[in-house]
Amino acid sequence: MNQEQKSISVVVNGFGGYDVLSVEDFELLSLADNIQVKVEYGALNFADLYTRKGFMPNKKAPFILGIECTGVVTKIGNIKNSKFKVGQRVICYDFNGGLYREILHINPMSCFLLPDSIDTKLGATIFVNYLTAYLSLINIGNLRENESVLILSCTGGVGSAAVQISKTINGVKVFGTGSKIKETFAKENGVDTFYCIETFSDEVQDQKFDLIISNESGAMFTFLQSLLKPLGRIILLGANNMLQPAQNTDSLKTDCDSVSLMSLLINNRIVAGLHLGILLATDPEKVHTILEHIFKLIEQKKLNPVIHSVWKVSEIVEATKLLEDRKNVGKVLIKISK
């Protein structure tokens, strides 16, 4: 087997702690009707943590980690009228993973051309964070002028993006939660009122919101519904409490109890969820359109993606620990290629 048929990759060799991660040569898919990308940056997401811990169904180890990256097109497979050319810079996204590797063979439908004004480092902060935030706030949440929005974990990747997008709408008041040490960053990023997560439940009792963006399920999700105004909306983006000890996918099955249909009717509340990967598969045109709009907002300096840190691929364990411990403000990146 020649060297081109393998590529340095971040491999998950089992399910569990950090010891299941390794950086090693791993076999490439056939180029066939794919395109080849030299990956420059991988972008860490909580989905990577869920996957490593075995919370994603139908995953069998070993496999390659990573749902989001950026790089440069280096080859075109057996594709007629390819929309990509060698040398173009692209964002790659695949919720099934497999993207943290130096050389990537990937379906062109999973790739998105970066504008000239956005380099691959900045580009790695955009797809998951800003699309998730925009879809939640605008398309699903219908955030309007002079409304109020509460954003949980407002200093993380999606949270900081959601704050910035909210502030593009006139008169919107942004409330956010996070750890005390992140308060300064939160306010500099646009948060009007910051709640320390440890005391949030007590501090927020008398406040009501038009829209809530939540990454917590279970009892917290039930409590958050009580904070909605009439016709208020709450959007569930994930279940970070799954990362706590003794949590697994069974906890998600019981979370149906945290949404009462009668309560929704009586209180005129709206509960919704978002899965970016499935939306891309079912309505790619919508995702493309919104991504192009986000690019324009970044070019106009109305959005300012935040990079917390960049790690070597050999430091994948340290980088994922940082994310899992929620010590980041903004996006955590992995420099894949040398």
pLDDT digits (tens, 9 = 90+) for 72-117: 999 999 998 889 999 999 999 999 999 999 999 999 999 999 999 9
Q: Is 4 helix (H, G, I), strand (E, B) or coil?
A: helix
- The radius of gyration of the chain's CA atoms, rounded to the nearest angstrom, is 20
Q: How far is it, in rounded angstroms, from Cα 300 to Cα 297?
A: 5
Residue 261, pLDDT score: 81
Helix (H) or strand (E) holding 112: strand 111-113
Phi/psi for 162 (5° steps) reads -65, -40
Q: Which two tokens stand for residue 103?
A: 């050389």
Picking from 145, 154, 215, the residue whose alpha carbon sits closest to that of residue 185 is: 154
Rounded Cα gap, residues 52 and 16, in angstroms: 6
Give residue-wise pLDDT tens across range 198-208.
999 999 988 99
pLDDT of 239 = 52
CA separation, residue 247 to residues 15, 19, 54, 273 (Å) = 14, 19, 11, 20
Which tens digits make up the pLDDT trace of 266-278?
888 999 999 999 9
Residue type, 283: D
Question: By three-state DSSP, how is residue 199 classified?
Answer: coil
List the chain residues with pLDDT less than 70. Answer: 1-4, 238-258
Architecture of the CATH domain 3-125+306-335: Alpha-Beta Complex (3.90)
- Report field, pTM of the whole predicted structure over 0.85: yes
Q: Is the dihedral of CA 247, 251, 255, 258 positive or negative?
A: negative
Encode 55-92: b = buried (16+ Cβ within 10 Å), e = exposed: beeeeeeeebbbbbbbbbbeebbeeeeeebeeebbbbb
State the pLDDT at residue 238.
Answer: 64
Contact assessment for residue 67 and residue 47, using Cβ atoms and an 8 Å cutoff = yes
Neighbours of 273 (CB within 10 A): 13
**Angle subtended by helix axes 157-166 and 127-134, to nearest 10:** 50
DSSP state of 29: P
* Helix or strand (DSSP H, E) at 262: helix 261-267
Topology annotation, domain 128-275: Rossmann fold (3.40.50)
> Kind and range of the H or E element at 194?
strand 193-196
With H, G, I as helix, E, B as strand and everything else as coil, classify residue 60: coil
Q: What burial class does residue 259 get, using C-beta atoms within 10 Å of its C-beta: 0-12 exposed, 13-18 middle, 19+ buried?
A: middle
Task: Report the C-alpha gap between 59 and 74 in whole angstroms.
Answer: 29
| Residue 254: predicted pLDDT | 45
CA-CA distance, 329 to 1, in Å (whole number)?
43
**N-term to C-term CA, the chain:** 23
DSSP state of 28: P
Whether 328 and 337 have beta carbons less than 8 Å apart is answered as no
CA angle in degrees (0–180, nearest 5) for 329-330-331 = 130
Q: Where are the domains of the chain?
A: 3-125+306-335, 128-275
Helix (H, G, I), strand (E, B) or coil at 19: helix
CB-facing half-sphere around the CA of 118: CA atoms within 13 A: 28
Q: What are the structure tokens assigned to 184, written together?
A: 């300064």
The SS3 call for residue 30 is coil
